[in-house]
Each structure stands twice: as C-alpha cells, then as structure tokens.
Structure 1
Amino acid sequence: MKWKRFPLGPLWTNGYLLWDDDGVGFFVDPGGDPTDVFKWVEDNGIDVRTILLTHGHGDHIAGAAEMSKRLGSDVWIHREDENMLCDRDKNLSSNLGTECPPVEATGYLEEGVPLSVGSMDLQVIHTPGHTRGSCCVIVQDGNDRLLLAGDTLFARSIGRTDLPGSVPELMSGSLERVASLDDDLIVLPGHGPETDIGTERLENPFLS
C-alpha cells in the first residue's frame, strides 16, 4: 500500500490518495480544487475507484463532486453526515464563503461492515463528536496498516466540538476508542502532520 498527501482548499485540508500494487486506489477528503490530483493520478496511472469522506464538512468535501464526475468514483460517507453533502449551511461552507458543489453518496461507511478497494481492506470506526457521522478508518494491505483519522484526532490535538452539528458529549468516548488502538498504528489526520497512536497516547493532552 502506498499513499500521498494533497493539501487542498482554503484550510489546506489533508486529502490522501491511497493505492495498492496494482494501481487501484481511493481518495480521502477532497477539500478543494482537485486539479493537482487529476494530473498526478493520470501521470501515474492510478484507478481511483472511491472517494471516502471522513465527515461532511465543506473543507473535506468541496472537491468530491468534480472528482467523482471526472474519475467516475463512488462516494462513501456515514449516513449521519449524508445530509451535509447538499446543504451549504450544514456543511459550513457558507460560513467559509467557499464553493461546495452538491454531491450524492453512492455508498456508506458503517461500523462492522467490511469494505475493500483493490487489495486494501477497510475497517470503519464510527467516532462521533466533531460531527455526528465522523468516522476513522483502519486501512490494511498485507502487513501495512494505517488509520485515517479525519478531524477526530490530530497530532497533539483533536477536532473542534463547538461547531454547529458537533456532539461534544460523544467525543470523549470516540477518543477512548481511538486511543485503544495499537501504539505503532500510523495516523493520517485531516489537518497537520502525520503521527501514531503511541505518540498521541503519551503526548496528546486530550488522550492522557
């Protein structure tokens, strides 16, 4: 399994392209103009079959409609956040003053329901707090494993719970679940640098 980070949109949201040895992949959280992604995907022959949305905020979904149309990719999100895909007030893009074209979900992230893209297996962990439908996803391909954390967990911090649609009383339980994962599990967050669970358990004030 290989991956590449693409900072997209006005908040430089981390979008991630992940792909297997056969060049089959998926894209996580296209938060802005995906032109650079298109060029890289075409130059490297990656078949982007799915767009995975960790939650429904505009800075994570703004490029999803264009990417889905251009690449023919499915769009997966948790059902609790599906209503944010076509409502600029609910996805908060109206607050940012940015464009966020509506996009339809074609599949759903659901805990306990295994998913796969190419040779990569995906395990969904529903982690409400930042939004009701926020999810983290463990991706495994052979011996390679990593966690897509969205805006649930950052390096030394966590996602905000004071936004419209956030559920602060659920965040602590979600963080406890994430903190119980293996120390050496790489974490790819929605903003900021990558980290790992062991480091966050020791140094993140919200987990200690």
Structure 2
Amino acid sequence: MNVKTLPLGPVQANCYIVTKGNHAIVIDPGDLFDLDSILAQGPYTLEAVLLTHAHFDHIKGVDAIVRSHSVPVYIHPQEVAFLKDPSLNASVAFYDRVSIQSPALPLQPGRMNLADFEIDVLFTPGHSCGSTCFIIDNALFSGDTLFQYSIGRTDLPTGSFMEMKESLVRLSSLDDQLIVYPGHGPSTTIGMEKRMNPYLLSL
C-alpha cells in the first residue's frame, strides 16, 4: 500500500490518495487537485471517496471527483446532511459557503471491503458528531481527531470534548506501530502520541 499526502485549501487539510494493486481511494479531498495525473501513474482505478467528517476543508473537492469518476462517497450517517449545509460544515464561519451535491452513503462501524482494501471503520466523535477514523493495513487515517502532539478542536457545531476524550481512549488502545495520517500536519504513530501528546498523557 502507498499513501500520497496532498495538503489542500486555505487551511492545508491533508487529502490522502491511497493505492494498492491497481486500485485507489481518496480520503478527505478538501479542494480541487489533479487526481487524473495521479491515477495515470498506476494506472489506478478509483474505487471511492472516504470522508473522516464533513467540515468544509475536508470535502470541497468531492463534487469534482464524483463528476469525473462516478464513485461512491462514504461518510458517517449523522453527517450526510452536513455536506449541503454551510452552517453545519463550518464553511460560513470561514467566510465561504461550501455545499456538496453528490449523494453520500452512510458508513457503518466495522470491516469494509473495497477492491483490494480492507478498511476498519472506527467512529470517533468529538471534533464533530460523526468523526470517523479508517485503519487500512498499518495506517490510521485520523481526520481531525488526532494530530501529531495535539487533537482537533471541539468548539465547532456538534463538537464535544467529553466525547473526544472517549475517542482518544479508544485510539490509545491501538497498536503502537500504527502510522497515523492526520487531517492536518505531519504523520506520526500511535506509540509516539502515547509518549508525547499531552491529551493522551492526561487520559
């Protein structure tokens, strides 16, 4: 499995293109980018778009991908409505109005199979009510739940610090060697965060 990281948009949210065999998925396309050039390198067949949550900086590029590739979009069922609502996806708070028109399918916790990908879906509310992490092979795509030495904010609509703490307890039980690919900033590992992240140290 290979992971390509693209920081996109005004707040440099990480979009991930994950490839395995001749298949690809996109996680959190927060703005427009040249996906076709990346897919041509395999060549790779795009299978789906996965969203860790529906804040504007993680979803803005969804419609362009679906128009070009007609792939399904998956998100926590509680945040399907956020995609079209600029108030819920927080874009109005940042002087924008992002509204995604592509239909989205609701994620379910547990194992999900897409082509060559076996994906463990973990619901981790806190940053938002439907925040979700994905484990693929030795990688955890943590969205805005867990960052290197920090965590996501909990003061936006549907955020909850108490729920965040519960989600962090769950993540801290994962394998120390798991590579963490967060929604913003550099990658890390579960073990490193357990040693260095003040929010995990205080659990």
For structure 2, list consecutive stretches of 5 or more residues without a partner in the other structure: none
Match of 1:72 in 2: 70
Structure 2 counterparts to residues 27-106 of structure 1, below 5 A: 27-34=26-33, 36-98=34-96, 100-106=98-104
Q: 1:86 to 1:58 in 2, by over 3 A?
A: same
Match of 1:26 in 2: 25
* Residue 112 of structure 2, aligned match among 106, 115, 131: 115
Q: 1:172 to 1:98 in 2, by over 3 A?
A: same
Instruction: Read off the aligned partner of 1:26 and give its amino acid letter.
Output: I
Match of 2:142 in 1: 149
Offset of residue 44 of structure 1: 3.7
Q: Does 1:11 align with 2:11?
A: yes
For structure 1, list consecutive stretches of 5 or more residues without a partner in the other structure: none
Match of 1:177 in 2: 170
Query: How well do the aligned residues superpose, as a CA RMSD in angstroms?
Result: 1.3
Which shows bigger deviation, 8-17 or 91-100?
Answer: 91-100
| Percent of pairs with identical residues | 38
* SS in structure 1 at match of 2:67: helix
* TM value normalised by structure 2: 0.94
Which shows bigger deviation, 100-109 or 76-85?
Answer: 100-109
* SS in structure 1 at match of 2:3: strand
Q: Distance in 1 between matches of 2:38 and 2:179?
A: 24
Q: Distance in 1 between matches of 2:154 and 2:126?
A: 6
Instruction: Read off the aligned partner of 1:7 and give its amino acid letter.
Output: P
Offset of residue 43 of structure 1: 4.2
How many residue pairs match? The answer is 201
